[in-house]
Chains A and B, each alone.
Chain A
Amino acid sequence: MEKKLNDLIDKALSRRKFMAGAGTAAAAALIVGCNNSSPAPTTTPAPTTTPAPTTTPAPTPAAITDADILTFALNLEYLEAEYYLYAATGSGLSATDAGSGAGTTIVPTTGTMVTFADKYLQQYANEIAQDELNHVRFLRAALAAAGATVQPRPAIDLTFFAGLGTAAGISGTFNPFTDENAFLTGAFVFEDVGVTAYLGAAPLITNKASYLGPAAGILGTEAYHAAEIRTIIAGNASSSSASAAQTAALTNANLISALRGQISMASGNLLAAETTLSTTSVIAADSTNAIAFARTTDQVLHIVYGGTAGVGVSKGGFFPNGLNGKITATTT
């Protein structure tokens, strides 16, 4: 068995290398195919803490290239950059950074520039805004350098936080731009999703020499950000002098976390539930091995589109006209 496995790996690796040289699309399609159409595991009755993966007869997978995966990531970076830039400066990406043909970004009519009472929080917000802007620029440049189409920013709806808040059970109308604590909860919505999205997508990359390193490096940055936001939210709420708004930021973050877990469970079962945030549990990882969660592109789409269930959901939530590029529709 082991010998056979080794032989298979050897042959396939050299074959894939050849295919990658001839064109990454075919190799990528192969990998996507095996993710989508594999049979459920049957051999080892392993102790599981998550339900067994379900086999879903997905629509015929299109050829997904590395450029498509990077474009998927670029859409998410546009969303993050818009959120942080609007919070930090009151306006979003420049026309150059948004790209030709960019969609519009809908923002609350009450304004977006957050008034930070805490100068440290303002520094954190500005740093993260610059980081996300850098990611937009990096991915746009990488796609251009690869000769791929650089998709512009899609239409983005930053008023969707209200709908997301209602779905999560946050009382009142959730608007992350009203004050620094609401801003933290808004940031919480994105950062862990960014970690899980890069973690899910990185292994699909076929040109590892060129793109795996940057993807892993951006994953690292998203995790730094996520930890920063989680540390502050949990720490603030634990203080004996915590304000009602600081306490609410933690409560609301965990409501969002629960909602994300539910949406993910409905689309693939690879993630049972997220880690409830507290000062004794800041890191979002599985409780057995302390390994961060991964999400499929499908699960991420379900979350950013606002949780609508089913196959073929291609817009909604933060992206009223859907993502740009090829990975745009849900498959479960």
Chain B
Amino acid sequence: MATLETQQLDDIIVKSRRKMLSLSTSALAGLVLAGVTKKADAQAAILMDSDYLNFALNLEYLEANFYNLAVFGVTIDKLPTPIGITGTGTQGTVTTKANFAAVPFSLPTIKAYAMETAGEEGKHVSFLRSALGSAAVAQPAIDLVNSFNTLAMGALGVAAFDPFASDANFLIGAYIFEDVGVTAYHGAAGALTITANLEAAGGILAVEAYHAGLVRTSINIVDGMNLPAAPTGTLTGYTQKISAFRSKLANVTLPSPPPVTNGGISGQDDQGIDNTQMVTLNGTAATYPSTTILDADNNSICFARTPAQILSIVTGNSPALASGNKGVFFPAGLNGNVN
């Protein structure tokens, strides 16, 4: 049954996959370029793997700049070992508050987590840029001032929110991104046609989920410290409101049947930390005290979101336009074909 062509294809896929696993970037670049060419052949606006990877790259630019600014006080292109931000589309700058300074961390473990995450998100930018090669999009304009203020008003009902002001604020800022990253990679994974790209996306999805678990666990620990500026329940309360707001942005019209979260909230595809949960386990009544560190559905499976839903969250356009969405984190829009 296996034809010569199939064998050739399998050889190419396997070789490429192995190369990717051995951390060669040239092989992946070739794969992505193959996707680009295929699109031209098809003469249709069918999104290719490279489009999804570029969409992801826009989000990684956002995350990497947020974390590196938080820890080092500079954007990714100004690091001692700069990360590239050039590419196709319109290159933009990062808007920060006047006299910007890194987060004045007072908790050493939170600073350590921030530093680790800054490094990892930077590596995701570099990895995707290498994989995409000359097809990689440039860093779009990113706003880290008005964006958080807008979201704070929408989600928390407060006029201003500076995620760089303290440990606790930083964690809430990070919270806004990480679960979204999980749902974005999850939603795009099924659309990827090339196995190597799927594996890479799966691996980044896992790291985003690790980050989300790290941030949510850390928020719960800091919340439990009952700090003067954030009495117990304050930070977890924020997470619940932010999750509800994200879900609202992403779901102008709820699917049928509506999503149900692991914490039992119907009509939301997102769930903050709730320490009043009770679970049944192997018994017959919900008698075991629990929480919702996990952000998932009632099968304990993480939610997935389409690129349009992600665009609604990061640009505030809800529902998202077919193209040309801009606002909130991306004041000039995203670069690439998913925008």
Which residues of A approach B to under 8 Å, CB–CB? Answer: 2-3, 5-6, 8-13, 15, 26, 30, 33-35, 38-41, 43-44, 46-50, 52-53, 85, 88-89, 91-94, 97, 119-120, 122-124, 126-127, 129-135, 137-138, 195, 199, 202-203, 208-209, 212-214, 216-228, 230-232, 234-235, 238, 270, 279-286, 288-294
Contacts of B218 in A (CB 8 A): 231, 235
Q: Nearest B residue to A219 by beta-carbon distance?
A: B206
Which residues of B approach A to under 8 Å, CB–CB? Answer: 1-2, 5-6, 8-15, 18-19, 21-24, 26-27, 30, 33-34, 37-38, 41, 108-109, 112-113, 115-117, 119-121, 123-124, 126-127, 182, 186, 189-190, 193-195, 198-200, 202-207, 209-214, 216-218, 220-221, 224, 262, 275, 277, 279-283, 288-304
Contacts of B124 in A (CB 8 A): 289-290
User: What number of A-B contacts does a CB cutoff of 8 Å give?
Assistant: 304
A259-B114 Cα distance, complex, nearest whole Å: 28
Contacts of A39 in B (CB 8 A): 11, 15
A283-B112 Cα distance, complex, nearest whole Å: 12
Contacts of A282 in B (CB 8 A): 113, 116, 210, 214
Contacts of A41 in B (CB 8 A): 15, 18-19, 22
A135-B26 Cα distance, complex, nearest whole Å: 38
Q: Nearest A residue to B21 by beta-carbon distance?
A: A270
A35-B115 Cα distance, complex, nearest whole Å: 37
Please judge, given known A-B contacts A30-B6, A216-B205, whether A38 and B11 are in contact too, CB under 8 Å: yes
Contacts of A225 in B (CB 8 A): 213, 294
Contacts of A137 in B (CB 8 A): 299
Q: Nearest A residue to B28 by beta-carbon distance?
A: A289
Q: Which of B12, B115, B194 has the most CB of A within 10 A?
A: B12
Contacts of A97 in B (CB 8 A): 282
Given contacts A213-B186, A223-B207, A228-B213, 9 further A-B contacts (CB under 8 A): A8-B5, A30-B6, A41-B22, A53-B22, A213-B304, A216-B186, A223-B209, A228-B216, A238-B108
Interface contact B281-A220, CB-CB below 8 Å: no
CB distance from A190 to the nearest CB of B (A): 15
Contacts of B30 in A (CB 8 A): 2, 5
CB distance from B170 to the nearest CB of A (A): 15
A283-B108 Cα distance, complex, nearest whole Å: 17
Binding site secondary structure of chain A? helix
CB distance from A57 to the nearest CB of B (A): 16
Interface contact B190-A124, CB-CB below 8 Å: no
Contacts of B22 in A (CB 8 A): 41, 46, 48-50, 52-53
CB distance from B274 to the nearest CB of A (A): 10
Please judge, given known A-B contacts A44-B24, A231-B218, whether A131 and B262 are in contact too, CB under 8 Å: yes
Q: Nearest B residue to A199 by beta-carbon distance?
A: B202
Contacts of B12 in A (CB 8 A): 5, 8
Interface contact B41-A122, CB-CB below 8 Å: no
Interface contact A292-B206, CB-CB below 8 Å: yes
Contacts of B108 in A (CB 8 A): 238, 279
Contacts of A218 in B (CB 8 A): 300-302
